[in-house]
């Protein structure tokens, strides 16, 4: 079934539009069970597709901090900045920076120990995770990107 979903995504996003189709029933689904969707939605043909996937390309903005957990696993935590470019209402180009909290496990800790320097360009692929801790009896939440793959550019 996963292969069918991937094929459906490939076809949907490779041709960019299905504006020539008259009904949702005409959208190719490659064997994926289709459901009636809200009028006008042509991108998803299954009810239960859910993803937690993050891709970021930016700069390392803090030196990685390394911790060894009680279980013996090593984790690296750092921040990374990405830039968004957009046009304002007058048509002027504007830039907006976003900072992301990132954690890396396993082999990526060794890579970051050896090569991780502030200001380097990097691309990461991972998932968004949320965890909590207690500080002074107060529960605090942190959302961060957990690295699955990392490319130094």
Statement to judge: residues 65 and 120 lie in one domain: yes
Q: What is the domain extent for residue 75?
A: 54-152
Statement to judge: residues 42 and 70 lie in one domain: no
| pLDDT greater than 50 at residue 33 | no
Statement to judge: residues 46 and 64 lie in one domain: no
In contact, 29 and 47? CB cutoff 8 Å: no
Q: Which of 9, 35, 50 is the last residue of a domain?
A: 50
Confidence band, pLDDT 50/70/90 cuts, at residue 32: very low
Statement to judge: residues 43 and 114 lie in one domain: no
- Determine the Cα–Cα distance for residues 152 and 102; give it in Å rounded to an integer: 15
How many folded domains does the chain comprise?
A: 2
Statement to judge: residues 141 and 109 lie in one domain: yes
Statement to judge: residues 27 and 81 lie in one domain: no
Statement to judge: residues 39 and 64 lie in one domain: no
- Which CATH number characterizes residue 131's domain? 2.40.50.140
pLDDT of amino acid 34: 45
Query: How distant, in Å, are the alpha carbons of 13, 78, 94, 112, 146 from that of 125?
Result: 20, 15, 26, 15, 8
Statement to judge: residues 45 and 118 lie in one domain: no
pLDDT of amino acid 21: 44
Q: How many CB atoms lie within 10 A of CB 151?
A: 10
Statement to judge: residues 126 and 62 lie in one domain: yes
| pLDDT greater than 80 at residue 73 | yes
Q: What residues have CB less than 8 Å from 25, skipping those under 6 apart?
A: 34
Statement to judge: residues 18 and 67 lie in one domain: no
- Determine the Cα–Cα distance for residues 139 and 136; give it in Å rounded to an integer: 8
pLDDT of amino acid 20: 46
In contact, 32 and 8? CB cutoff 8 Å: yes
Instruction: Look up the pTM and report it.
Output: 0.64
| Helix and strand numbers, DSSP H then E, in the chain | 2, 6
> What are the tens digits of pLDDT across the range 87-116?
989 989 999 999 999 999 989 999 999 998
- Determine the Cα–Cα distance for residues 101 and 75; give it in Å rounded to an integer: 13
**What is the DSSP-derived secondary structure letter of residue 28?**
-
Statement to judge: residues 46 and 84 lie in one domain: no
């Amino acid at each position: 079934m996963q292969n069918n979903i991937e094929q459906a995504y490939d076809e949907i996003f490779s041709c960019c539009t299905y504006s020539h189709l008259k009904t949702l029933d005409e959208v190719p689904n490659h064997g994926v069970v289709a459901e009636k969707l809200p009028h006008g939605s042509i991108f998803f043909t299954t009810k239960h597709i859910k993803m937690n996937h993050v891709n970021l390309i930016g700069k390392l903005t803090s030196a990685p901090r390394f911790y060894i957990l009680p279980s013996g696993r090593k984790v690296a935590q750092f921040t990374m900045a990405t830039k968004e470019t957009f046009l304002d209402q007058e048509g002027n180009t504007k830039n907006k920076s976003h900072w992301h909290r990132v954690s890396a496990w396993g082999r990526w800790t060794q890579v970051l120990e050896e090569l991780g320097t502030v200001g380097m360009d990097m691309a990461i692929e991972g998932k968004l995770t949320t965890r909590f801790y207690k500080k002074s009896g107060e529960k605090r939440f942190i959302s961060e990107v957990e690295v699955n793959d990392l490319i130094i550019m």
